[in-house]
Amino acid sequence: MGQTHRMAAQRAQSGADPLYSFLREAAGGPATVDLEEVGLCDSQRLQILVSASRHWRAAGSSLRLTGAGETFLKGLELSGLDPAEFDFEDK
């Protein structure tokens, strides 16, 4: 099943983003990022997710995103990102 991280609605303003730390620790194995609390996602965290998704796919592993709502998906569209970049557990 792997590790799971619930992404906060907004990025922490002080210190490193817990998302980045989670992905570094979970690299190489199956992992899930729960987006249930996230509406629009800032560009920095979107970039982290894109990079991680590509890394997991290249390694033949699974990084799943779950709980993505319409606002998050609309934000992907507005950012010019293709939802196919990600492995959504549910949409």
* Contact between 61 and 30 (Cβ < 8 Å): yes
Q: What is the pLDDT of residue 89?
A: 87
Helices (H), 1-69: 18-26, 43-58
**pTM to 2 decimal places:** 0.90
Q: Residue 60 region, left (φ>0) first, then alpha (ψ -120 to 50), else beta?
A: left
- Give every residue of the chain whose pLDDT is below 50, as ranges: 91
How far apart CA 81 and CA 61 sit, in angstroms, is 21
How far apart CA 90 and CA 8 sit, in angstroms, is 19
Q: What is the pLDDT of residue 2?
A: 85
Burial of 86 (0-12, 13-18, 19+ CB in 10 A): buried
Q: What is the pLDDT of residue 15?
A: 67
Q: What is the pLDDT of residue 46?
A: 92
Q: What is the pLDDT of residue 1?
A: 61
